[in-house]
Amino acid sequence: MKRMIERESGATRNPHDADGLHAFSKGRMSRSARRAVKAGIGLAVLVAMAACDQVGITVPDDIKPAVDTYKLSGMSVSDLTKTDIRRALVQLSREACNRDAMGRMAAQIDALGYRRESATALIGFVDRCGRADGFLSAAANDLMAVSDFKGAVAVSDRLIANNPSEPQYYFDRGRANEGWQRDDAALSDYMQALALSTNLATVTSNLFIRIADLHAKAGRYCDSVSAIRMWVSADPERANNMQAKGMIAQYASHASCPSTYAAGQESFARQSGNTIRVKAKVNGIEGVFIVDTGASYVSLSEAFARRAQVPTEQAKRIRLQTANGARDGLLAQAHAVKVGAVEASDVPVSVDAGGKSPYGDGIDDLLGQSFLSRFEVSFTPTRWSISQRS
């Protein structure tokens, strides 16, 4: 017995037509098949009409010069002719180096999702019209948004060549290198950004988290802990930050730091004034240091580093932000740094290539966070204390 029917929009049809395998029966098209064909024809007509419309639409003459100059032909004409975008393009067509118009246009197309086109236009503007670091910086971020990390590194290289003392550019290049999976290059850029930052309390936690993650990927969990503690130590209000505590606990669970990593406790009297001076030893060589919680690294003059036999053959060249401005330097590692009974091993140190100490007579160097962040450090008006973390 033939089974009658499934109801579809009130129509009755043969079950053999249900899967569309039998479109014809006795030379005639079934009702459902006819409906499908009509719908298909209608859709094809609409697509064809749309295609004709696209072919028929051309870029208006008043914006075409800018569209061609800044390679925006990949954008839809409907977007190019939006009021604010068109106004900027008209201005750029008249004056190709109109910075205000380029800034407004790039922001508008960026908001519509044309990140590649925005980057191309901004870079093209700089190539044509001259230096505009803000445009290049925006272009680097646009390129990262479309995963063109190699291109973002190239743009960041230009920014650093323009201003080698700007930490933001190293941070951005680090993000691009990290996206490009060049972890060593990314870490170098992040450490350089730290070296150029004059106040760690104002530096985004994102930088320290990225440094910690890269160390963890390489199995250096103690260094990961130090990176997060450096961020915490830069501002007393962060002492009870739960997210930071959680990250420290997570990294610490992967490995136990050696006893030489950070050991001992000590307390010192403070003289009046804001500057804290202390005698410290680097690789057994004593000097007078300023305790600086805002400094990223233990900072050594070239002369002191030589006396302390800090190896610099494999050191990375970096820019340093000193009391006398930005200077060339090296990022090296001291075998040991000791203050009283407190000692840490394998401490990152920056070496000022200027020769003598830039901190004045009687001061050899700075005792910064690459050492201090490994310990609990507290200050009162009359004393300061440093001790191994529990």
Give pLDDT, residue 10. Answer: 35
Task: Say whether 362 sits in a helix, a strand or coil.
Answer: coil
How many CA atoms lie less than 13 Å away from 110 in the CB half-sphere? Answer: 20
Percentage of residues in the chain with pLDDT exceeding 70? 83
Say how far apart CA 195 and CA 138 lie, in whole Å: 23
Whether 144 and 152 have beta carbons less than 8 Å apart is answered as yes
> What are the residue boundaries of the structural domains of the chain, listed by start?
62-146, 164-257, 259-388
Give every CB contact of residue 60 below 8 A, 6+ residues apart in sequence: 81, 86
Euclidean distance between CA atoms 34 and 25, whole angstroms: 12
Is the fold of 164-257 the same as that of 259-388? Answer: no
Each residue's pLDDT tens digit, 309-349: 999 988 988 988 876 678 889 999 999 999 999 999 999 99
CATH 1.20.1280.290 describes domain 164-257 = no
pLDDT 10s digits, 174-201: 999 999 999 999 999 999 999 998 888 8
pLDDT tens for each residue of 231-256: 998 888 888 899 999 999 999 999 87
Q: How far is CA 16 from CA 4, 11, 19, 33, in A?
A: 10, 15, 7, 12
Q: Which fold has domain 259-388?
A: Cathepsin D, subunit A; domain 1 (2.40.70)
What are the φ/ψ torsions at residue 348 (nearest 5 degrees)?
-60, 135
How many other C-beta atoms are found inside a 10 Å radius of the C-beta of residue 86? 18
Is residue 331 within 8 A of residue 195, CB to CB? The reply is yes
Contacts of 206 (CB under 8 A, 6+ apart): none
Q: What is the mean pLDDT of residues 144-157?
A: 99
Each residue of 23-80: pLDDT tens digit?
A: 323 333 344 444 444 445 454 444 444 444 444 469 999 999 999 999 999 999 999 9
Mean pLDDT taken over the chain:
85
Whether 72 and 117 have beta carbons less than 8 Å apart is answered as: yes
Is residue 306's pLDDT more than 90?
yes
DSSP character at residue 124: H
Contact 77, 59 (CB under 8 A): yes
Residue 384 reports pLDDT greater than 90:
yes
Asked whether the predicted pLDDT for residue 152 surpasses 70, the reply is yes
Q: What is the DSSP string of 198-259?
A: S-GGGS-HHHHHHHHHHHHHTT-HHHHHHHHHHHHHT-GGGTT-HHHHHHHHHHHTT-PPPG
